[in-house]
Structure 1
Amino acid sequence: MEWTFAGLFVISAILLIVSILKSTRAAKAQHNQIDQIHISLMEEINALQSSIRNIELDQEVFMKEAGIRLSSEERLFMREVLDLYERKYSIDSIAEMKNVAPGTIQKMLAPYQKVKVEGRKVAGEN
């Protein structure tokens, strides 16, 4: 009977050691997988930052070639106004938010507004 208990104790100790080793290996594998995902995300972030930097440089080149001279404040204001317009805010509400006359906003947005084709078909037109 004592030998049976001793044998069971030894077997349980061995199983405990094997379980600990397997869980350690699984944790290392999971840690490596997390590291790989982190590395790939960092590479994507770096690629996006590089693309953004290139777009900003292209924008500066286009603005200089076109002869447009806007200060950073004016550029920021224009970007905010255009963003509001793209989100379907009315010109009056944009002017109210920015404390500017609606005519000024209208002039700023004129190149970005789509021309509506109005009219109707005439009878007999094919």
Structure 2
Amino acid sequence: MMEWTLILLIAISAVLLIVSIISNRNAEKQKHKEIDLVHVAVMKDINSVNEQIRNLELDIEVITKEAGVQMTPEEMVFKREVLDLYKRKYSIETIAQKTQVSENEIHQFLSPYLAAKDERSKIAHEI
């Protein structure tokens, strides 16, 4: 009788082990499917952002050609850096120090952006 009980317990533990392995595999497959779905979604987002960047680059190229603007890549990087610093609320003095250019040159470069900002402020205050 004790032998049968021992055999029965071993058989039950073997069945439980097999069930456990199968359920773990199913759970693992489900996790892999979820990871794959997230990966696909992220890749779609990355492709979308890359396409938007390409479109922006083409738009900039078209606009600069249409406007007849001739700038070297170095000038473009410099102007982008100055405008970025200005938009992040750096003072003209700080921008001049960071770019190692005179405050007057920075002010001249930013004057169209300063004028546009002043006009928007006046309109906002009038309303």
Same fold per TM (> 0.5)? yes
Which residue in 2 is equivalent to 1:51? 52
C-alpha separation in 2, matches of 1:17 and 1:88: 65
Amino acid at match of 1:87: R
Which residue in 2 is equivalent to 1:19? 20
Deviation digits for residues 43-93 of structure 1 (CA, Å, limit 9, x no counterpart): 110111011100110011001101111111101000000011111111111
Which residue in 2 is equivalent to 1:105? 106
C-alpha separation in 1, matches of 2:10 and 2:94: 79
Amino acid at match of 2:71: L
Displacement over 2 Å in runs of 4+: none
Confirm whether residue 86 of structure 1 aligns to residue 66 of structure 2. no
Confirm whether residue 62 of structure 1 aligns to residue 73 of structure 2. no
C-alpha separation in 1, matches of 2:72 and 2:8: 84
C-alpha separation in 1, matches of 2:35 and 2:72: 44
Structure 2: 5+ residue stretches without partners: 123-127
TM-score, normalised relative to structure 2: 0.89
C-alpha separation in 2, matches of 1:33 and 1:96: 50
RMSD between superposed Cα atoms in Å = 1.0
Which residue in 2 is equivalent to 1:28? 29
How many correspondences in the alignment? 117
C-alpha separation in 1, matches of 2:67 and 2:56: 16
Confirm whether residue 71 of structure 1 aligns to residue 72 of structure 2. yes
